[in-house]
Amino acid sequence: MAEMAMRAAINLALREEMRRDERVIMIGTDIAGGAQGSSGAEDVAGGVLGITKGLLSEFGAGRVIDTPISEMGYMGVAVGAAATGLRPVAELMFIDFIGCCGDMLLNQAAKIRYMFGGKSTCPLVVRTTIGAGANAAAQHSQSLYHWVTAVPGLKVVVPSNAYDARGLLATAIRDDDPVIFCEHKALYDFPAAAVEIPDASYTIPFGEANFVTEGTDVTVVALGLMTHIAAGVAAALSGKGISVEVIDPRTTSPLDEESILESVASTGRLVIVDESAARCGFGQDVAALVAERAFHALKAPIKVVTPPHCPTPFSPPLEQAWIPSGERVAGAILETMGLDPALAAA
């Protein structure tokens, strides 16, 4: 057991899977970095966020493939390779660039198995980054996991800590179907996401939520970075006698509906904290699920805490106002309890 940051845990999982199965390859822009620069140095970057550093040195350019900035092209290559015997892990630097490779994910990877009558698979993993907080502004801060969650044929993972990231990535790579693996960039070095992880490799099944805290008054569903905000609020509110159950679904497709429904059945109140979207997002989807299947258990209206319906701003104070805050989460929890949301500030 050792404590490990999420960045290192993802790197470790990639190494482990590449060692385990030589069909696993990495493909993406700058995932090694440095090729044919004037210094002659290679493997200098490991992607713009340094996640894949060292893989080139260990596995060679035949399996760690730096691509041109051609998202659609290399994603198509990855899909074609996946359909014919490799198990590519393609890196889409930011999920904001999904528009540049949308067809290969939405119309090719997602459809292959079904459209071909079950005669083909597409064991592709797309690692990508999501999330605001890095002052990266509107084109590098989105959390578009709800887009891909809406597409049948794609599995979608949103890990919130090092342990989950390692286990879920191993599962994703061993899965025979396309998986979009969404890494929140604020979590790579986030202290709370750095947790003890076992020495030996392990997998975590998809579609099984993690209970971050257990509680009896309010269920809070949160993903990625929002999990940590929710957990902080839960700890603060426990001091006020409010018992919050924080559930991290970990995968949005498949979604662990059962754990959410069972929790709401026991608490009768639901708050969803979601960075994806103010409308038609993951949060609204969970709200609809509960309204549809556990309406009878609800003691109060569901609250969904999301960013406002506007692009992620650049200026730091604006960006902080954009990201769902602990105050807003606490306020929503108090509101479902019939208490004054202003108490959250107290």
Partner 1 sequence: MARIQAITVPKWGLTMTEGTVSQWLVEEGDTINLGDAIMDMETSKVINVVESVVAGTLRRQVAQEGDTLPVAALLGVLAEAEVADAEIDAFIAGYVIDESASGAPAEADTHDAVPAPPPPASAPAPVEHTPSAAATASAPAAAGAPPVPDALKDGDDDSGVHASRHARKLAARLGINLHNVAGSGRNDRISVADIERAIATAGGSVPAKQPAQRGPEFNPVPADDSDVPATSVARRLAKTLGVNLHQCRPTGRHGRVCKYDVEAACALLHGTPAPAAAPAEIAAEPAPLPESVPMSGMRRTIASRLQASKQRIPHYRVSMDIRLDALLGLRRQINAGDPAANLSVTDCVVKAVAMALVKMPEVNVHYDEATQSMQRFRDADISVAVAIPDGLITPIVKAANTLTLTQIAAQMRDLATRAKAGTLQAEEVQGGSFSISNLGMFGVRQFDAIINPPQAAILAVAGAEQRMVVDDGEPQVATVMTVSLSCDHRVIDGAVAAQFLQLLKRFMETPSLMLA
Partner 2 sequence: MALSKSQLLEAYRRMRTIREFEENIHRENTTGEIPGFLHLYCGQEANAVAVCMHLEDTDYIASNHRGHGHCLAKGADVEGMMLELYGKADGLCKGRGGSMHIADVSRGILGANGIVGAGAPLAAGAALTAKTLGTGGVAVSFQGDGASNEGYVFEAINMAVMWQLPVIFYFENNGYGEFTGHDHVVGSKDIAGRAAGFGLPAVKIDGTDFFEIHEASGEAVQRARAGKGPTVIEAVAVRFYGHYEGDPQAYRSKEELADVRQNRDCLKILRQKLIAGKKASARELDAIDREAVDLINACRETAKSAAYPEASTLTDNTYVSY
Residues that bind partner 1 (CB under 8 A): 205-209, 211, 214, 254, 256, 258-259, 261-263, 265-266, 268, 293-294, 296-301, 337-339
Rounded to a whole number of angstroms, the minimum distance from the CB of residue 43 to partner 1 is 38
- On the CB side of 319, how many CA atoms lie within 13 Å of its CA? 16
Q: Which is nearer to partner 2, 35 or 134 (CB)?
A: 35
184 is annotated as an active-site residue: no
Binding-site partner at residue 102 among partner 2, partner 1, none, CB < 5 to 8 Å by type = none
Rounded to a whole number of angstroms, the minimum distance from the CB of residue 255 to partner 2 is 8
Binding-site partner at residue 109 among partner 1, partner 2, none, CB < 5 to 8 Å by type = none
> Where does this chain bind partner 2 (CB under 8 A)?
23, 25, 62-63, 65, 67-68, 70, 72-86, 88, 103-104, 107-108, 111-120, 152-153, 155, 176-177, 207, 253-255, 257
Q: Which is nearer to partner 1, 59 or 206 (CB)?
A: 206
Rounded to a whole number of angstroms, the minimum distance from the CB of residue 215 to partner 2 is 26
Q: Which two tokens stand for residue 319?
A: 């960006």
Identity of the amino acid at 148: V
197 and 1 Cβ atoms separated by less than 8 Å? yes
Reduced to 3 states (helix: H, G, I; strand: E, B; else coil), residue 262 is helix
Which residue stretches of the chain are H helix? 6-20, 55-59, 71-83, 98-103, 112-115, 145-149, 162-174, 224-238, 257-267, 282-293, 316-322, 326-336
DSSP H helix total and E strand total for the chain: 12, 14
Q: Which of 140, 146, 184, 228 is catalytic?
A: 140
- On the CB side of 309, how many CA atoms lie within 13 Å of its CA? 5
Binding-site partner at residue 70 among partner 2, partner 1, none, CB < 5 to 8 Å by type = partner 2
Active site positions, annotated:
140
